[in-house]
A and B are shown apart, each in its own frame.
Chain A
Amino acid sequence: MTHLSIKQLRKSYDGREVVAGVDFELVPGECFGLLGPNGAGKTTTLRLVLGLTQPDSGSITLLDYGVPAQAREARTRVGVVPQLDNLDPDFTVRENLLVYGRYFGMKRLDVEQRIPELLEYAGLTARADTRIQTLSGGMKRRLTLARALINDPDLLFLDEPTTGLDPQARHLIWERLRQLMLRGKTLLLTTHFMEEAERLCHRLAIMDHGRIIAIGTPRDLITRHIEPEVVEVYGDGAEYWAATTGSKLAQRCEKHGETMFCYASDAHALVADLANHDARTDIRYLHRRANLEDVFLKFTGRELRD
């Protein structure tokens, strides 16, 4: 059984293929991350899955409903946290939840019974009757998340849920999302924060140019695609050092921005050589274990995305 199954999904705009043959499945109870640079096709994939735009080809089954034909029915069991806040600015916190519940055809009494619990979840009990404009960015996000839970959905879509939030607010959202996972909800989130993906997701797909280029658990992706150790070298002398010494001692050296990333299964020799230059100010370095960001950079390359 799956909560979502996508096969060979394609969508073009003006001859440019934004989603170019995407396949994946969501198992009930898992948190699945869709990772990719801006313009990779993540948001379009979500819109297709929700039936808000027509695919050129491919098939989508969302909670046993065929999409787009039965997208509306499928959405009764889905919650959505969009990338851009679209809380209703004309309403208070409580009214936002009340009105959103009506869109699901819920009776007033049922919604009103559910509201205290959702307010508590969002940490907004004391703000129930304030207007949206006075809330901080983190509060708004939490309310958007609570609003997406009004119908007690089986599956939640979160489009970059922590973009634009400060670290405290971000950690709070992560904690709330983990609560949902404990309650058995299935989560699909898009992000370009590696830390977020690594912390929350059971499985990940890295997406670029409308395609999924790698899929697996975070640990699996790292061990399968990247040497276990990394030495980041930066400073004016870094590039010369990498070209002359680094490239001989590492399996592979890559430049991203102004930093040289030297990947090795054993970075001992690299670190030993760099230690000789400790007195120099034009070379500095950081030795660490490989992480998801290294996988991401390997697959999505180095060009700047807008």
Chain B
Amino acid sequence: MPSYKHGFSLRFIHVWRRNLLVWRKLAIPSVLGNLADPLLYMVGLGYGLGSMLPQMQGVSYVAFLAGGVVCSSTMNTATFEAMYSAFSRMHVQRTWDAIINAPLTLDDVVLGELVWAASKSLLSGCAVLLVAAALGLVGSMMALLIIPVILLTGLVFAGLGLIMTAISPSYDFFMYYFTLAVTPMMLLCGVFFPLEQLPGVAQAAAQVLPLSHAVALSRPLMNGVAPDHAWLHVLVLALYAGVSYGIARRLLKKRILK
């Protein structure tokens, strides 16, 4: 098998910068999208639906929602980037082939793609934070601690997305992942309502999913409260990120360096 040592090198920056240069060409619509999307959630669901709801855990529904949407936006962006965009570069445009003919390795490419997808999701998570702050939904400066949570969450979903990319024969395959993983997480991990509202079994299942742990950190921070069991949630997310990256790396090597 190709050697697994020398896996980490700062050379991944070249791959990251390549993607940044492409993004810069579409930066304005991309940032506008990052801002418009959470704004729609806050206005539509937060104020619209929220006006019919009582206070949630001591805050308005829209403030409650903001803490969840930060995480779901991050998940969506990282997932899209690590699946559709990375798959295009790997399989359709053969950009990766060109890169590994130069003195970069597949390890550099995979790490570059991982960090890139996480960076893009960091931007979209921060956009939600910004919108929430502008709407006066942020409890205190503690909300700044959400930024590292976003980054970690981005790494989790970038790693999971790259696993899908590694095993996918075509774009259609990604629909399974959305149906079986992304949508359930979106609906069951406490983005729109407290986890405790779910029946016991569903609650236990949701506890296994990474998005629940991201929300468990970001929501209290958004409302100016220190999260309970913070290190436990961080640990779960870090495990998800590390393990999924390791698996993605192995699978992509098997696919590309056969």
Contact = CB atoms under 8 A, between A and B. Distances in A.
Contacts of B21: 91, 95, 99
A100 B102 CA distance: 8
Given A90-B25, A102-B14, A102-B17, A50 B101 contact: yes
Interface centre among A76, A85, A90, A95 (most CB of B within 10 A): A90
Nearest to B95: A88
Contacts of A117: none
Contact of B99 (A84, A87, A103): A103
B52 interface: no
Contact of A53 (B11, B93, B99, B257): B257
B251 interface: no
Interface in A75-131: 75-76, 80, 82, 84-91, 95, 99-100, 102-105
Contacts of B95: 86, 88
B20 to A, nearest CB: 11
Interface string A41-54: 00000000010111
Interface string B87-99: 0000001110111
Contacts of B98: 82, 86-88, 100
A80 B103 contact: no
Given A53-B257, A99-B18, A105 B103 contact: yes
A72 B103 CA distance: 5
Contact of B101 (A80, A85, A99): A80
Contacts of A99: 17-18, 21
A278 interface: no
A76 B102 CA distance: 7
B2 interface: yes
A75 B98 CA distance: 12
Given A88-B98, A95-B21, A52 B257 contact: yes
Contacts of B99: 103
Interface in B193-220: none
B105 interface: yes
A73 interface: yes
Contacts of A95: 21
B258 interface: yes
Given A86-B93, A90-B25, A103 B258 contact: no
A102 B14 CA distance: 6
A210 interface: no
B179 interface: no
Nearest to A84: B94
A68 interface: yes
Given A90-B25, A99-B21, A73 B103 contact: yes
Nearest to B99: A103
Interface in B224-258: 257-258
A282 B191 CA distance: 81
B3 A69 contact: yes
Interface in A113-157: 151
Given A86-B93, A86-B95, A54 B18 contact: no
B134 interface: no
A13 interface: yes
B1 interface: yes
A53 B94 contact: no
B100 interface: yes
A69 B105 CA distance: 12
Interface in B114-158: none
B45 interface: no
B221 to A, nearest CB: 36
Interface of B: 1-3, 11, 14, 17-18, 21-22, 25, 93-95, 97-105, 257-258
30 contacts: A52-B257, A53-B257, A54-B1, A68-B3, A72-B104, A72-B105, A76-B103, A80-B101, A82-B98, A84-B94, A84-B97, A85-B94, A86-B93, A86-B94, A86-B97, A86-B98, A90-B25, A91-B22, A99-B17, A99-B18, A99-B21, A100-B98, A100-B102, A102-B14, A103-B99, A103-B103, A103-B104, A104-B102, A104-B103, A105-B11
Which 6 pairs between the two chains have the least Cβ-Cβ distance?
Answer: A103-B102, A86-B94, A80-B101, A86-B98, A90-B22, A75-B103
Interface of A: 13, 50, 52-54, 68-69, 72-73, 75-76, 80, 82, 84-91, 95, 99-100, 102-105, 151
Given A53-B257, A82-B101, A85-B94, 10 more contacts: A13-B258, A52-B100, A68-B2, A72-B105, A73-B103, A75-B101, A82-B98, A88-B93, A103-B99, A151-B102
